[in-house]
């Protein structure tokens, strides 16, 4: 990143924390295979299991943990190996859920992007995310979990955007990704309330996920998690500042009226397409995005904003704040926004 760059795309990925980098480099030196029976292998196994225990402690999770290559793999694993077939998904899920959804019921959202818990009461596996990756909207997962379980179902929560920022949701299966909270790309986990909820396929991770474990990645993920979320209080102030300034400049803050994770905001600039905005911001050295990174660059409109019935969905960009984002960064973005809006 050149010194004049401004990165406000932390929901796509956020910088590796120094503690995570140190843990990764330490992990590179513990390179034996944790499945090997000899001393270095057992040392690698011990480090892996200690990291698992630390992850559970940091998350206050007393269920099981399956390390994966990321949230996409964790979600695929949950959906393909759960003892209950997928019965429903919210329409605002990430593609990593939606593309597995087949003919499962689509659970609608209201104009603020919220799922009605009653509509999620389905007997089977129900996937509802904790935090939307495009708008930051937080789902009422406690009520949704109660509704799903009341119907005899199980709740799968994609918490890729929530873990490391919010308390874990009350769900039966939870997917997370390290690089969304300061860990490295290429590692994540599926949390499982009880092994009995999944069918094993053999291999490592108690037979639930084959492949040599990425120990350096796991160590770095745990170190990132332990860094805590104290910075979010500051993020609330920064986003309030953004909301106020952009609204005053004629922009629209999406789902401003509902609970959102403080690090993600979506803004509509009436009359300017998101792609045109991105090109202008990119030229000014400012990294923001239209929707998710995976769909950026494509011309299709956001399924999330469409589902919410947002006017001018193709004029909305996502601004996401990180641990190191400063007030000066926000003011620079606001000035750039005013310039682009003309």
Partner 1 sequence: MTYLDYQATTPLAPEAREAMLRWLADDGFANPHSAHRMGRAAAAAVEVARDQVAALFPPGGKVVFTGSATEALNLAIRGGPYGPVAVSAIEHAAVRDTARWFGSDFELPVSADGVMDPEVPFPDEAKLIAVMQVNNEIGTVQPVARLAERARAAGALFLCDAVQGAGKIAPPAGADLIAVSAHKLYGPKGIGALWVRDGVHLSPVILGGGQEGGLRSGTLSPALCAGFGAAAALSLARMAQDAAHVEALRDAARDVLSRWTLNGSADRRWPGNLNLRLDGLDVGRLMSECRTIAFSAGSACASGSGRPSHVLAALGLSAAQAKNSIRLGFGRYTTRDELIEACRTLDAAARSQGV
Using CB under 8 A, which residues numbered 79 to 108 contact partner 1? 80, 94-97, 99-100
Q: What is the β-pairing status of strands 286-287 and 6-7?
A: parallel
Tell me the closest approach of the beta carbon of residue 290 to partner 1, in angstroms.
8
Catalytic residue among 276, 294, 299, 335: 294
Buried/exposed code over 89-111 (b: 16+ C-beta within 10 A; e: otherwise): bbbbbbebbbebbeebbebebee
Question: By CB under 8 A, what part of segment 27-66 binds partner 1?
Answer: 28, 31-41
Tell me the closest approach of the beta carbon of residue 174 to partner 1, in angstroms.
16
Q: What Rg value do the Cα atoms of the chain yield, rounded?
A: 20
Report the Cα–Cα distance between both ends of the chain, in Å, rounded: 27
Tell me the closest approach of the beta carbon of residue 60 to partner 1, in angstroms.
26
Give the range of 135-143, 244-252, 290-298, 329-337 binding partner 1 by CB under 8 A: 290-298
Q: Which of 51, 148, 173, 215 binds partner 1 (CB under 8 A)?
A: 215
Length of the chain, in residues: 342
Which residue's CB is nearer to partner 1, number 147 or number 214?
214
Q: Does 130 bind partner 1 (CB under 8 A)?
A: no
Q: Does 326 bind partner 1 (CB under 8 A)?
A: no
82 assigned to active site: no
Tell me the closest approach of the beta carbon of residue 3 to partner 1, in angstroms.
9
Helix or strand or coil: residue 178? helix
Which residue's CB is nearer to partner 1, number 27 or number 262?
27
Give CA separation, 306 vs 66, 199, 215, in Å: 34, 36, 40
Question: By CB under 8 A, what part of segment 164-193 binds partner 1?
Answer: 177, 179, 184-187
Question: By CB under 8 A, what part of segment 243-262 binds partner 1?
Answer: none
Q: Which of 19, 69, 143, 256 binds partner 1 (CB under 8 A)?
A: 69
Contact 337, 282 (CB under 8 A): no
Which residue's CB is nearer to partner 1, number 275 or number 338?
275
How many Å apart are CA 83 and CA 96, to the nearest integer? 19
| H-state helical runs in 60-151 | 71-81, 95-98, 141-150
Helix or strand or coil: residue 239? helix
């Amino acid at each position: 990143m050149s010194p004049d760059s401004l990165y406000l795309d932390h929901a796509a990925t956020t910088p590796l924390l120094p503690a995570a980098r140190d843990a990764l480099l330490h992990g590179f030196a513990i390179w034996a295979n944790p499945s090997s029976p000899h001393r270095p292998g057992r040392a690698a196994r011990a480090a892996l299991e200690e990291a698992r225990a630390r992850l559970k402690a940091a998350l206050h999770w007393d269920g099981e943990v399956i390390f994966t290559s990321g949230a996409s793999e964790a979600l695929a694993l949950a959906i393909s190996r759960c003892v209950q077939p997928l019965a429903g998904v919210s329409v605002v899920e990430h593609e990593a859920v939606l593309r597995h959804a087949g003919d499962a019921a689509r659970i609608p959202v209201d104009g603020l992007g919220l799922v009605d818990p009653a509509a999620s009461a389905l007997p089977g596996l129900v996937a509802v995310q904790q935090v939307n990756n495009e708008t930051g909207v937080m789902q009422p997962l406690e009520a949704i979990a109660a509704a799903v379980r009341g119907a005899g179902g199980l709740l799968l929560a994609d918490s890729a955007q929530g873990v490391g920022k919010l308390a874990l949701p009350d769900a039966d299966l939870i997917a997370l990704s390290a690089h969304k909270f300061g860990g490295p790309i290429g590692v994540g986990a599926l949390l499982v309330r009880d092994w009995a909820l999944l069918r094993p396929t053999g291999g490592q991770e108690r037979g639930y996920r084959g492949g040599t474990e990425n120990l350096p990645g796991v160590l770095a993920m745990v170190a990132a998690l332990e860094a805590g979320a104290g910075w979010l209080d500051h993020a609330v102030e920064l986003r309030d500042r953004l909301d106020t300034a952009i609204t005053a400049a004629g922009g629209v803050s999406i789902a401003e009226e509902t609970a959102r994770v403080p690090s993600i905001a979506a803004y509509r600039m009436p009359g300017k397409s998101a792609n045109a905005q991105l090109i202008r911001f990119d030229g000014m050295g400012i990294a923001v995005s239209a929707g998710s990174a995976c769909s950026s660059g494509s011309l299709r409109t956001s399924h999330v904003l469409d589902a919410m019935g947002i006017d001018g969905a193709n004029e909305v960009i996502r601004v996401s704040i990180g641990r190191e984002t400063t007030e000066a960064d926000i003011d620079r973005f606001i000035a750039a926004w005013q310039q682009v809006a003309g």
